[in-house]
Amino acid sequence: FLELFEDEAKKITEQLTNGIMPLQILSVVGMPGIGKTTLVRSIFENPSVLLHFHVRARCCVTQVYQKRRLLLEVLQQVSKVSYKVLGMTDDRLALKLYQSLKGKRYLIFVDDLWDIWPWNDMKASFPDDNNGSRIVFTSRFHNITSQITTNSITIFLNPISDLSSWELLQVKLFKQESCPQELFGIGQQIAKAYQLLWI
């Protein structure tokens, strides 16, 4: 799978570790199911990326934005969370997250952004200490990521060929197994039809 987006993976990794100091936001945009999450997750776990940041965290927004859940999800990955923290208001949690990230070079992976307002609601929790911190979004909507203007870079995962679309569908459906012969024809038709929706 990763061979399909080798150039994009290289570009994202370089942007994460390139030494540019201000907080930078990378948006990875592409059609549903193309592999945005898988690609960014593999980069998130890359040893060179892992060594570059003091702390890393990832969370998933989805269509239903829940600020408290996301704050706790990120906070638990960058700091020790006590029972006292669990009883805090959302505003106190947002401040606690800010304090936990302050002074650290951090990487935050925010998966599946459906709207700009979750970012606008949470961005005050992410300090810019001019130390090379990064935030990576994945989204299927370019019009959302184009609204993020401060030090923002967008990387598009373009629609893929019929063959690559079929290979990707097989990986998603059958994992490590091969497609049963009786589903081969209909599977290829589904992959082609799905791809045509996004061209």
Residue 199 pLDDT class (50, 70, 90 cuts): very low
Dist CA 99 CA 17 (whole Å)? 23
Residue 143 pLDDT class (50, 70, 90 cuts): confident
pLDDT for 131 equals: 96
CB burial string 42-74: b at 16+ within 10 A, e below: bbbebeebeebbebbbbbebeeebeeeebbbeb
* 85 CB-contact burial (10 Å; exposed 0-12 / middle 13-18 / buried 19+): middle
List strand residue ranges (DSSP E) for 42-83, in order.
55-60
Dist CA 133 CA 52 (whole Å)? 10
* 109 CB-contact burial (10 Å; exposed 0-12 / middle 13-18 / buried 19+): buried
Extract the tokens encoding 199.
Answer: 């061209």
User: At residue 192, does pLDDT exceed 60?
Assistant: yes
The model's pTM is 0.81
